[in-house]
Every structure is written in C-alpha cells, then in structure tokens.
Amino acid sequence: MRHRLIVLLCCLSGLFAQAQDLIYLEHANTLVFDEDVNKDYQKLIGDVRFRHDSAWLYCDTAHFFRESNSLYAYGHVHMTQGDTLTLDGKTLYYDGNRKLAMLRTNVVMTNKDVNLYTDNLNYDRAANVGYFFQGGKIVDPTNTLASSYGSYNPAIDKAFFKDSVTLTHPDFVMYTDTLNYNTETRTASIVSHTRIVGDSAVVHAFRGWYNTNSGESELYDRSYVLSTPYYMIGDTVSYDQSRDKGWARSHVQLMDSSKAMMLTSDYAYYDKASETSFLTGKALLKEFSQEGDTLYLHADTLMMRKDSIYDNFLAYHHVRIYRSDLQAVCDSMFYSSRDSILDINGQPIIWSDNQQVRGNHMKLFLINNTVDHLHVERNASVVSQEPSDTSYYNQSSGDDLKAYFLNNKVNRVTIEGNARSIYIPHNEDDEMIGMVSLEQGDIEMFMDSTGQMSSIKVAPQPKGRFFPLSLVKPEDKHIPLFSWPIELRPTGPEDVFRRTDLKDDRFEETRKKGSTVKRSNRNRRTNR
C-alpha cells in the first residue's frame, strides 16, 4: 500500500511539474480556431497576453500551438520576467518546453538601467542568458558596448562580446576582439589585445581589468601606455585614466622620445599632470643623445619632474655612471634646465680617459647641452697615471678646482687655495726625467689631446722641488689628498649596478700618516 502511494505521489508531482511548464493564454480580443484544419493551431488577435510560469508575453497577434507548447508573436511584442527584466521586439518565437525566446527586429532587452539593442536575440530563460548575433550593443549610464556577437546574463550582471568589439566612454574608446563586462561595476575584463584611446594617452593591454567608472585599471602581460612624449611598459601596469597617472612593476621601461632617453627599473610611477616620473629598484637611465655612444646611469632612485617650463632630474644613493669616454660615482646628483647646472654630491669621483677628478662637491656647467666646465669644491684633486711607469702619478689638489672642457675633453685645470701638485716632466723623446713637487700659490695646468698634462703654471711664488727619478722615495710620490680608487670605476654598462662604498680613503690615509709621524716623534723623545 505504501509503495503504491509513493508511485501515485510521483506521478502527481510529474503532472504538476508538467502543468507548471505549460503556456497559458490569458487574454485575446479574438480567437480563431478550426479543428478540421489544424486542431493544435489557434490564431489570436488584439491585446494578446500569455503567461508561462513567472513570465508574461504581450503582442498584437499570435499563433499558438498548445500541444507543442509554443507560439509565434507579432507586433509590439513585449515580454516581462520578474521585476526588472523586459524584452521588446517586432516578432518572437517562443518554445515553452525549452524556455527559449527568439526575438527579431528592433529588439530591446532591458534590465534595470542596462539596455541591449539588436535585431536578433535568443533569450534562454532557463539559463537567464540572452544571445545576440549579426550585431548588437549594450548601453548603460556610463558606456556603450558593441560587437558582432555576444551574450548578456542579467542575473549576474555579466556580458560577453566577441568580434569587432568597441566600448565607448565619454573620455575614451576601447577596441578589442574579445571582452567580458560587468554591467553592475562597469568593469571590463580584458582577455585579448585591447587598444584604449583617450584624449591624452593610448593604452595597449593584453590581459587585466579596467573600471570605467573610476578610470582605474590593472594590466598584465607587458601592457603599455603611450602618453606623448612618454612610453611606459611593464609586466604589470596600473593606470588611472581619469587622473592620467600610471604605475608599472617588474621589467619596467619608461621612454621619453623628446629627450632621446630610456629609463628602466623594477618599479615606476608617472603623473602626466605634474610631468613627474619616479623609478626605483635597479633604476637605470640610458641617454642616447651623443652620436654613437650611450650613457648609463644607475641609482637607487631616479626622478624627473617638470617645474613650470624647466626640466629637473634627481638621482640619489649609490649613483654610478658609465659611458665609453666618461665614468663617475657619487651618492646623489641634481640637474635643472633652469640654470643648466648638474649638482653632484656625496664624495663624487669622475674619470675621463686617464684622468680622475675628486672632491666633496661638484658642479657641472653645461651650455647648449655641452659640458663647459666642472667646478670641484673642497678637498679637490685631479690625478692621472703615468702610462710608462704606473707607480707615478701627475696629481694636484686644493680648496677649489675648475676643469674646462673642449670637445668633451679636459684641456685646462685651475686650482686655488692650499694648492699642492706633483707632476712628471718628460724630455723630447717623451721619457720621464724626474718628479716636480710644488706647493703654495695657484696652479693652472694644460692638457694635450690624450689627457696628459702638457704644461703647468704656478703663481705667484710657489715652493717647489725637483727630484731625479733615482732619488724619489715612495713617501714623496703622493700629495696628502692623493687617491687612486680605480676599483670603484665602472667598467661597462652592467657594472653600473655594482654597489660602491664611497668612504673617502684620502682622509683615512692622511690620518694614518699623521699618526705614524706622531709615534715616530714620540719614539725619538723616548730614546733621548
């Protein structure tokens, strides 16, 4: 008995479910039915209304097939489902068994403030997805999205677009082949090469997301931003279209085409409004302006900023520079086009050919982007090694040093205040003939095309000594501020990333020598 009751309940449940899936005719002004012609066919005219579970269908005329649970609707077709979803069109075929509505011509699918427009829409009520083909567009309060094919699921606010996709926003237009879009958050999910064209920038994205409400985006797979004259690319790029700001991380490149330079780093930030760029993490500047050569500059942090009409450049901490004809190390440097002065700080050292210039602080003066002269302040020294005997050095030091350039090479050096100098004179056969030590007075040195000192002037009344080479003692070979830290000199483009300890060894050596002299004097007094 119990078994029969269960079977009966199952049958009743199936009949009830089947009844729930039937299309019901609720109203029509006129019904035409001829059982002899077609017992399954009914023609309905005027204010036609159908119901199918939670959906309602309205039209001017309909052909209803009760047994197949389907119908054709014509004229002012209007379909509603729930509180927010409506569909309108000129004609419709509806299959009640599959819950499939096929609307044609001037179709509009509306869900809250989102409208889908097309001439061909298939709406699957079971999956709650509308599919359009042969062209369609979705319009919300922010954007208009169009493509050849696509779909829209109002329940989860998800739209999909394929083939010739465009997203039109008041501030930009997005072009792509494939796009996912959230109609609630107004966020586009980028899955293929996408070009975003705005008033001030063009973005090329390959994967990521773009929030069209806020203008914020995060892009992957070497996406890049073109914002004239800047170009920024990275493994990950975050870009704010509304504020024209960008961030890039990992293998970053930032190029300024107007200045013939490229910057690379692990992290970069760019602000178009203030024309500010900030790079850190293996930051590197490559400057291509000198024909046939490239300058490489590395620092912990690089920054470029536009101040009114003037360009400012800042590099700070562990700065290292390499170019084939110039190398340098320092702690920080600052340049402004306002006065065309490069300010170099933190125990800077500059090498050019066989010359080394060192001091506490330097200023490099440029005229028309060409070096005019270098001013070294406090504890200044210039040294060059003798090519024929590397144990000898031409060397000078003083409180203030100026080096003047001709064709990017030092051709004259002046030293004022506590001037000291040691130089190696040569005979006509370019052989070393001795060593000259000078102190007091001011020094002016002239260099030949190879960077070697060709002549020297000392005024007004120098104190000097000449040493034959045979009488030169090791302790006489160097001035007090002598140093030759050749191990710090960058040797190539990759060597700029080597860390440099800029502890000033000159003062340490001077201190040690002073201590040795004091101990020697003390020992003499004790022996007496």
Assess if residue 464 is contained within a domain: yes
Assess if residue 353 is contained within a domain: yes
The CA distance from 404 to 513, in Å, is: 33
* CA proximity to 301, closest of 321, 316, 311, 286: 316
| Overall pTM surpassing 0.85 (yes/no) | no
Assess if residue 403 is contained within a domain: yes
Assess if residue 159 is contained within a domain: no
- The neighbour count for residue 195, using CB atoms within 10 Å, is 12
Q: How many domains is the chain partitioned into structurally? A: 1
The CA distance from 503 to 492, in Å, is: 22
The CA distance from 223 to 227, in Å, is: 13
Q: For each successive 10 residues of the chain (528 residues), what is the average pLDDT?
A: 42 41 95 80 96 96 95 98 94 97 98 97 96 97 97 97 97 97 97 93 95 95 87 94 89 85 93 88 86 88 87 93 92 91 93 89 87 91 89 91 84 89 88 89 81 76 86 91 94 92 61 43 43
For 328, the token pair is 């340098």
State the pLDDT at residue 484. Answer: 94
Q: How far is CA 332 from the centre of its chain?
A: 23
For 95, the token pair is 């299959």
DSSP-derived secondary structure for 71-140: EEEEEEEEEEETTTEEEEEEEEEEETTTTEEEEEEEEEEEETTEEEEEEEEEEETTTTEEEE-SSEEEE-
Largest CA distance in the chain: 148
Assess if residue 61 is contained within a domain: no
Task: Write b or e for each residue in 114-140: b if 16 or more Cβ atoms lie within 10 A of its Cβ, otherwise e.
Answer: bbbbbbbbbbebeebbbbbbebbbbbb
Per the listing, tokens 């070497």 go with: 222
| Residue 425, domain extent | 347-490
Q: How far is CA 398 from CA 62, 98, 407, 438, in A?
A: 105, 96, 26, 12
Assess if residue 297 is contained within a domain: no
Assess if residue 123 is contained within a domain: no
Q: Which amino acid is at 148?
A: S
* DSSP class of 431: -
Q: 377-381: long-range contacts (C-beta < 8 A, 24 or more apart)?
A: 379/481, 379/504, 379/506, 379/507, 380/415, 381/357, 381/479, 381/481, 381/482, 381/483, 381/506
State the pLDDT at residue 130. Answer: 97
The CA distance from 472 to 349, in Å, is: 28
